[in-house]
Amino acid sequence: MNNLNSLDRVYVAGHRGMVGSALMRKLGSLGFSNIITASHSELDLINQSAVENFFKTYKPDQVYIAAAKVGGILANNSYPADFIYQNLMIQSNIINSAFNNRVKKLIFLGSSCIYPKYANHPIVENELLSGKLEETNEPYAIAKIAGIKLCESYNRQYGSDLGIDYRCVMPTNLYGPGDNYHPQNSHVIPALIRRFHEAKINQHEFVDVWGSGKPRREFLHVDDLADACIRIMHLDKETFSGIVPQMNSHINVGTGEDITIQDLAKKIKKIIGFEGDIRFDNSKPDGTPKKLLNIDLIKSFDWSPKVDLEQGLISTYQDFLNN
């Protein structure tokens, strides 16, 4: 990788989450030893003065923003105020404190839910703000869009004079070790893993899956995302700005392949060894009918995903059993 300096002080915000812990593993494997972390009890990222003092004290050279309030359809629908407020505060406090303390290199992690509900597929980066968002996660999406525009605005205003270079990565649906398996507030893969596992243990006759099973989703293993983030962080500025525009400067990260929820459920059922039936609950919302990212931009930086979905699901189930 270009410009990789393993002596840099690297702050990973949200280091205990699924994405943050994947970044920690990858940074460690690359020889980074000066990694700065803080748990929620040590640093409340919603508290502006606490974040500012943290940056003044530790003076990182690089920042990865993997901290966020996240959840599935039910959580987004149930706590819209929490999702927009907490995410706006977390990212704004970190980005502004990074700027105030002369951090020039930063990665902001968003989500593919920033794109319109009926975007053209596969979704290219310039589909952003071209249409209405999906209703169930609009507050979260708006917060993430604000984070992109915050980074872009600092780059535009201070990039030339102060060397500010804040980059934004938009991953598709993530899964992998360290995921959240909460029965109500988890995303689709961990929710299905837990549901099928409990049905197997309790010898249930069937498992209920939300929605029709027809929506198509793309899934990226979190270790592939960590690899992409570190690659993007260390691309030299000339190479990066020669390909990525100043506006809509975020980069999609995915696999370029999708699968129906129905077929995903069948895969997970087989891996777990549940022998009952699957029932689709059409009274529950489907969310966006299709969400597949165009990944041509990141592929132009010589990156491609390495973890096959089947193998990724097997290792993720093993992580669930272990933890």
Q: Per the domain annotation, does 213 fall within a domain? A: no
Q: How far apart are CA 300 and CA 88, in angstroms?
A: 31
Q: How far apart are CA 105 and CA 166, in angstroms?
A: 6
**Is 46's pLDDT higher than 60?**
yes
Q: Per the domain annotation, does 22 fall within a domain? A: yes
Domains in the chain, number = 1
Q: Per the domain annotation, does 159 fall within a domain? A: yes
Q: What percent of the chain has pLDDT over 70?
A: 99
Question: What pLDDT shows up at residue 2?
Answer: 59
Q: Per the domain annotation, does 61 fall within a domain? A: yes
Active site residue 140: yes
* C-alpha torsion 131→135→136→137, nearest 10: 40
C-beta of residue 209 within 8 angstroms of C-beta of residue 280:
yes
Q: What confidence tier does 73 reach under pLDDT thresholds 50, 70, 90?
A: confident
- SS3 assignment for the chain: CCCCCCCCCEEEECCCCHHHHHHHHHHHHCCCCCEECCCCCCCCCCCHHHHHHHHHHHCCCEEEECCCCCCCHHHHHHCHHHHHHHHHHHHHHHHHHHHHCCCCEEEEECCHHHCCCCCCCCECHHHCCCCCCCHHHHHHHHHHHHHHHHHHHHHHHHHHHHCCEEEEEEECEEECCCCCCCCCCCCHHHHHHHHHHHHHHCCCCEEEEECCCCCEECEEEHHHHHHHHHHHHCCCHHHHHHHCCCCCCCEEECCCCCEEHHHHHHHHHHHHCCCCEEEEECCCCCCCCEECECCHHHHCCCCCCCCCHHHHHHHHHHHHHHC
Q: Per the domain annotation, does 201 fall within a domain? A: no
Question: What pLDDT shows up at residue 215?
Answer: 93
**Is 1's pLDDT higher than 60?**
no
C-beta of residue 186 within 8 angstroms of C-beta of residue 179:
yes
Q: Per the domain annotation, does 198 fall within a domain? A: no
Question: What pLDDT shows up at residue 133?
Answer: 94
Rounded average pLDDT over 129-142:
93
Six-digit token string for 97:
């404190």
Q: What is the pTM of this model?
A: 0.93
C-beta of residue 140 within 8 angstroms of C-beta of residue 84:
yes
CB atoms closer than 10 angstroms to residue 100: 12
Rounded average pLDDT over 12-23:
97
- SS3 assignment for 280-311: EECCCCCCCCEECECCHHHHCCCCCCCCCHHH
Q: Which residues have a Cβ under 8 Å from the Cβ of 244 and sit 6 or more positions away?
A: 167, 251, 297
Of 64, 115, 140, 175, the catalytic one is: 140
Q: How far apart are CA 48 and CA 304, in angstroms?
A: 37
**Is 98's pLDDT higher than 60?**
yes
Rounded average pLDDT over 173-202:
90
Q: Name the residue with higher pLDDT: 1 or 232.
A: 232
Mean pLDDT of the chain: 94
Strand order in the sheet with 259-260: 259-260, 216-217, 290-291
The domain that holds 125 is classified in CATH as 3.40.50.720
C-beta of residue 138 within 8 angstroms of C-beta of residue 81:
no
Q: Per the domain annotation, does 319 fall within a domain? A: no
Question: What pLDDT shows up at residue 187?
Answer: 83
Q: What confidence tier does 42 reach under pLDDT thresholds 50, 70, 90?
A: very high
Q: Return the residue matching tokens 């270079």.
A: 165
Q: Per the domain annotation, does 270 fall within a domain? A: no
Q: What confidence tier does 288 reach under pLDDT thresholds 50, 70, 90?
A: confident
**Is 101's pLDDT higher than 90?**
yes
Range of the domain at 40: 10-179+220-255+292-306
Q: What confidence tier does 7 reach under pLDDT thresholds 50, 70, 90?
A: confident
**Is 160's pLDDT higher than 90?**
yes
Q: How far apart are CA 126 and CA 252, in angstroms?
A: 11
Across 113-127, b (16+ Cβ under 10 Å) vs e yields bbbbbebebbbbbeb
- Summarize pLDDT for 249-274 with one digit per residue, the tens: 999 999 999 999 999 999 999 999 99
Rounded average pLDDT over 66-91:
89
